[in-house]
Structure 1
Amino acid sequence: MTDKLSVAIAAGGTAGHVNPALALAEELDARGHTVRFFGETRRLEGKLVPQAGFDFFPVHVTGFDRARPWTLATALAHLAHEERRLASAFRSDPELRPDVAVGFGAYVELPLMRAAARLKIPVVLHEQNSVPGLANKQSAKSASLIAIAQPAVRAVFEKHAGAATKIEFTGNPVRRSVLAGDRARGRASVGVPADATMLLVFGGSLGAHHINQRMCELKEQLLARPDVYVVHSTGADDFEATRDALALTDAERERYRVQPYIEDMGDMLAAADLVLSRSGASSVAEIAALAVPSVLVPYPLATADHQTTNARLLVDAGAAIMCPDAQIDEDAFAAQLLGLLDDPAAREHMREAARGLAQDKAAAHLADAIEGLRV
């Protein structure tokens, strides 16, 4: 049996980094391991981690802005200071010193990864995207294990990893609150009958506007299908403009619900028969984990077009279809979307393909790999 571990996790800045880290923490905690987070109190992790009930050790770093080269000196000074502070704390306090240090790709991971490497503590990296961030590339050489959520990123890490580094595909961990999504509960919360066909639309924090515009244009065709219900999350910034453009009548509001954001993504994904969304790493992971058929429209301004590569994970498995953003105004896109709503057999085939990816087991796979470092 694997010894109980003390695991230090650094993840910060965005939900795309923090939520997979919390999903891993939940899995490790359930196995009896001790988990402590390291991050910035003033950023998202400083809120979400304490809310989730995990210990939080403050770290202060500043990023380097390429547009302001003079910020490099300050960034390096803060990084060096925090690395020394953590290394000293780990040497002096056996209770604080971890058995394994795990980084999820944000700049805030660097002090922990470097302090751990200095003290010969095993380093694990997790990369959610198909294009790795600078922090993970910088930390790769000292890593014992690099866990990836996208097969395409393996080749990049092979160039940066150390000779003894193991690269393993684990998938992108999804929080238990999402995995616990319930179809009946989700439908009841938005007034969708059990036997209706539900389309869930969301665009993520960036780049939803074009999808929102296209949905306004497709409203009549969607509602012409009496069994179709739409739940459309616009993003907070675009809510009022989209609501006004839809101009829903009282009768249409019975089957078309427009809202700024989704409060319980697990329930909404479980309730959906088809998803239309961008293909950020977290969205792809959650769609796959709940095994929902999807139409993916990658955000065209994403770094190195990584959302297109993210989408490939589902498309190549037969669990999704993908349409470039520049083509969603064409008739072919409408035909694909409406065709899937009209074809339950095709959707079921896609659902089975998504289940085959076992994305709902990603947190367990990553925890297994971390435990394996001590076997």
Structure 2
Amino acid sequence: MVIVLSGGGTAGHINPALAVAEVLESRGHTVLFAGTPQGVEARLVREAGIPFTAFEAAGFDRSHPASIIGAVAKILKSTRAAKKWFADVKPDVVVGFGGYVSIPVGRAAEMLNIPVVVHEQNSVMGMANKYLGKRARAVALTYEVAASALEDASRVVVTGNPVRASVLAAKRSDGREMLGIPEDALMLLVFGGSLGARHINTAVCALKERLLAVENLYVVHVTGPKELEAVEAKLALSDEEKRRWMLFGYQDRMGETLAACDMVVSRAGATSLAEISALHIPAMLVPFPFATEDHQTTNAKAYVAGKAAYMLPDDQVEGDRFAELLFSMIEDEAVRERMREASKAFKTKDAATRLADVVIAAAEKR
């Protein structure tokens, strides 16, 4: 079969697509990708060795209604271009992962009676997925609560959010060796996504003395590129302290880093949560408060309800409650073990396989 995947805008849309691409290709199917020429997908997809075709797409600013005209014009132009492309590549099914580019690609498929499958990574459906989900052959969700955006839930299947094989295969011992952390040490990983999180950084820095006072605790702190210098200045680590508190602006080997840790402080983005749950890592979640429809908070609530994580709002992270929850994870092995066991219920490790099954089934029903 020829399968077209489409998505763009953020790595959160692309990483699950690449994860399911690995499964589809392992089954002998041809995978192609449609994204925007300037988006992060253009780099990530090509690096994964998947043929990439670019289509223009853009959102609009609700406070400037005139911007809708330009956005619609791009969608119409790209829909026509996608139809011509489909005439050449003849896909059996098209899968949208979100982002504006998936709208013209999905619309072109609908016009040519090519089955469309939608995958939503977050607990709140994005605009593109909500639009395509109305007529899609199947709507795959990470969280069942996202189905509330659809009038017809008969085509909904909860697959979880796919995680790339390189993350699933990462070993604790390899991560520890990479970071220079002893096997018997306790490791706290702090990261706020690719851009970092200032409140998380500030809160953790304020706990420097208490954290370093914990015997055999190592802190791996990924600040975000723009925050690194400020965090370095705030911490003012001595050479001896740097041995147990490692600072990175960005970490491109997150699979090994996650596998190495015993607990994590993190945002609640879709990819971060998928990787955390797939590796069964106890977590303190601080949702990004300005995510669309506050979906990171809804994401995090699912893990808190499942007893797999703690959660604290961003505007409370510099208070006493943050320290209380963090040190309960650090100091109590029973808390960490409870979270590890609870995270297994999310079955994220099998999400890519389940989504691949949904995609193939949609194509076979054509």
TM-score, structure 2 normalization? 0.96
Checking the alignment, whether the CA contact within 8 Å between 1:207 and 1:299 is kept in structure 2 is no
Q: Please state whether the residue corresponding to 1:142 is helix, strand or coil.
A: coil
Distance in 2 between residues matched to 1:296 and 1:134, nearest whole Å: 25
Distance in 1 between residues matched to 2:196 and 2:259, nearest whole Å: 24
* 1:335-374 alignment runs, 5 A limit: 335-373=324-362, 374=364
* 1:81-100 alignment runs, 5 A limit: 81-91=77-87, 93=88, 96-100=89-93
The equivalent position to 1:150 in structure 2, one of 143, 146, 162, is 143
Corresponding residue of 1:197: 186
* Residues 1:31 and 2:27 aligned together: yes
Distance in 2 between residues matched to 1:234 and 1:89, nearest whole Å: 42
Corresponding residue of 1:121: 114
Distance in 2 between residues matched to 1:63 and 1:323, nearest whole Å: 31
Corresponding residue of 1:292: 281
* Residues 1:107 and 2:96 aligned together: no
Corresponding residue of 1:242: 231
Corresponding residue of 1:216: 205
Distance in 1 between residues matched to 2:47 and 2:196, nearest whole Å: 28
The equivalent position to 2:124 in structure 1, one of 116, 131, 135, is 131
Checking the alignment, whether the CA contact within 8 Å between 2:196 and 2:225 is kept in structure 1 is no
Distance in 1 between residues matched to 2:204 and 2:57, nearest whole Å: 41
Identity %: 49
Structure 1 range deviating more: 328-337 or 225-234: 328-337
* Residues 1:79 and 2:75 aligned together: yes
Distance in 2 between residues matched to 1:195 and 1:227, nearest whole Å: 8
Corresponding residue of 2:48: 52
Q: Please state whether the residue corresponding to 1:68 is helix, strand or coil.
A: coil
* Residues 1:301 and 2:290 aligned together: yes
Corresponding residue of 1:42: 38
Corresponding residue of 1:176: 165
Deviations 1:2-56 (A, max 9, x none): xxx2111111121111111111111111111110001112221111111101111
Q: Please state whether the residue corresponding to 1:66 is helix, strand or coil.
A: coil
Deviations 1:103-153 (A, max 9, x none): 011000111101111111110011111122111111122201111112221
**Alpha-carbon distance, 1:218 to partner:** 0.5
Checking the alignment, whether the CA contact within 8 Å between 1:199 and 1:273 is kept in structure 2 is yes
Unpaired runs of at least 5, structure 1: none
Deviations 1:148-207 (A, max 9, x none): 1122211112x3x5x8x6111111111112112111111111121100010000011356
Structure 1 range deviating more: 68-77 or 279-288: 68-77
Checking the alignment, whether the CA contact within 8 Å between 2:309 and 2:339 is kept in structure 1 is yes
Distance in 2 between residues matched to 1:247 and 1:16, nearest whole Å: 33
Structure 1 range deviating more: 314-323 or 272-281: 314-323
Distance in 2 between residues matched to 1:39 and 1:278, nearest whole Å: 26
**Alpha-carbon distance, 1:327 to partner:** 2.2
Checking the alignment, whether the CA contact within 8 Å between 2:196 and 2:222 is kept in structure 1 is no
Q: Please state whether the residue corresponding to 1:248 is helix, strand or coil.
A: coil
TM-score, structure 1 normalization? 0.93
Checking the alignment, whether the CA contact within 8 Å between 1:38 and 1:58 is kept in structure 2 is yes
